[in-house]
Structures are given as C-alpha cells and as structure tokens.
Amino acid sequence: MVIRKITSAVTCWGFSLEAAYHIDLADRFRNGWELVPFYRYTYENLQTGGFAGTDDNLPTGQGQRQFHTFGLALFPTPQVVLKIDYQFALDNAPDSPRADHLLGAVGFFF
C-alpha cells in the first residue's frame, strides 16, 4: 500500500492496493513461463482543502478519483514480460469525462 500526502496551500492524498497471483506454467511450456493476473485499486483525493482549509468545490466531488485496473502479465522467460491491462476511472464530479483505457507493454530485465 502506498499513501501519499502533499502539503501546500492545497492538500491532496491517495492510496493504491494491488493483488496478484503467480501461476507457474513451466510444466506446459519451456523456459519457465509464468502468468500473473492482477487487480489494482487506486484512490486519489486532489482537493482535501483549499486556502485556509476551505474549498468551495469539494461538495461536488471534483478531484475524488478511483481507478480500477485489471490485467495479465506473461513471463515467457524470467527476463521478458508481456503485459496487458484495462483501467477504468471514476470521478465524482458531475460533468467529469471518463478515462477508460486499454494498455499493452513489453518489458525486459538485464
């Protein structure tokens, strides 16, 4: 769990929780393949207070965001990862845009 707090004229905070399960595919594939499904939840509150601790926008929910991320990571070797995830975002502001997206990535360790 990661908790962040930034102190300035306007304060904000947030946290993330992640769960993952490693599935060993070495008995089906060569080179020690591994599949890792995961879920990540992130909450951000970008407006916990304004000038002198007051914020007229806070009752609207503006800046209170939640992100839900579902994904899979596939390790064909211990040095290479193929990753795909889908994230949808919720913002409590009445007219906020939605920011759902699908991401893919390739990573390597050296």
Dump pLDDT digits (tens) for 22-76.
999 888 877 778 999 999 999 988 766 554 445 555 555 567 788 899 999 999 9
Q: How many CB atoms lie within 10 A of CB 59?
A: 7
Q: Which pTM was predicted?
A: 0.71
What is the tally of structural domains in the chain? 1
* Predicted pLDDT of residue 52: 45
Mean per-residue pLDDT, 78-101: 82
* Predicted pLDDT of residue 78: 84
Contact between residue 38 and residue 16 where contact means Cβ atoms under 8 Å apart:
no
For residues 33 and 22, what is the distance between their CA atoms, to the nearest angstrom?
10
For residues 62 and 58, what is the distance between their CA atoms, to the nearest angstrom?
6
Domain interval for residue 34: 2-108
Q: Which residue has the higher pLDDT, 100 or 22?
A: 22
